[in-house]
Amino acid sequence: MKMNEGVEWAMHSCVNLSWLPGEAVTAKRLAAFYDLPTAYLNKQLQALTRAGILSSTSGPKGGFQLARDPRNITLLDILTAIDGADDAFRCTQILKAGPGADPKADYREVCLVSQAMRAAELNYRRELAGQTIADIVTRVEAQSPAAPENTRTWFANLKS
């Protein structure tokens, strides 16, 4: 049960972008911040854009920025944009291969193992849906008040 690494990159990139409002930041600069492979991070940023979390502009002076208020971007939004909406527990409906199976039944609904696992996972997603980028940012600033300014100057001083 492993999650795409890009989820973590995406969350941190969103936090950083929240400290650079209205400014288009290129994928190269975002990647440089954590020393990530540019082209690959770019793919994750594209996914965030398709999901309406970021907005992008081409050309010189182009780049990515948050498409909406950080209070309106949940951790679940980012997770599903990068990692998809599929459940970790895959009900392969093996009961259909078993004896006494009813081919017409949807065992995802009927089977109680499936129900238990899906309920737990639904809860997990609900919890992530209750956490926004703004919440994270607020807590980061409470913990290290210099973080926003440090990030801004770091991006300002980055050349090339």
Partner DNA sequence: TGGTTCTGGATATTAGATGTCCTGAATAGC
Partner DNA sequence: GCTATTCAGGACATCTAATATCCAGAACCA
- Judged by the rule CB under 7 A, the positions of this chain that interact with DNA are 2, 4-6, 26-28, 37-40, 42-43, 45-46, 49-50, 56-64
Measured between alpha carbons, how far apart are the two ends of the chain, in Å?
A: 39
Kindly state the greatest CA–CA separation across the chain: 68
CB of 89 to DNA, least distance (A): 11
Q: Which residue has the tokens 């770091």?
A: 154
Binding partner at 119 among a second copy, DNA, ligand SF4, none, C-beta below 5 to 8 Å by kind: a second copy
DSSP-derived secondary structure for 78-143: HHHHHH-S--SS----GGGGSTT--TTS-HHHH-HHHHHHHHHHHHHHHHHHT-BHHHHHHHHHHH
Confirm if 45 and 92 have CB atoms less than 8 A apart: no
Q: Is 149 in the site for a second copy (CB under 8 A)?
A: no
Confirm if 17 and 25 have CB atoms less than 8 A apart: yes
Q: Is 107 in the site for ligand SF4 (CB under 6 A)?
A: yes
Q: Is 134 in the site for a second copy (CB under 8 A)?
A: no
Q: Choose one: 24-32, 57-65, 89-97, 145-153; the region binding ligand SF4 (CB under 6 A).
A: 89-97
Q: Is 3 in the site for ligand SF4 (CB under 6 A)?
A: no
Q: Which is nearer to a second copy, 63 or 78 (CB)?
A: 78
Q: Which is nearer to a second copy, 31 or 56 (CB)?
A: 31
> What are the residues binding ligand SF4 (CB under 6 A)?
8, 12, 91-95, 107-108, 111, 113-114
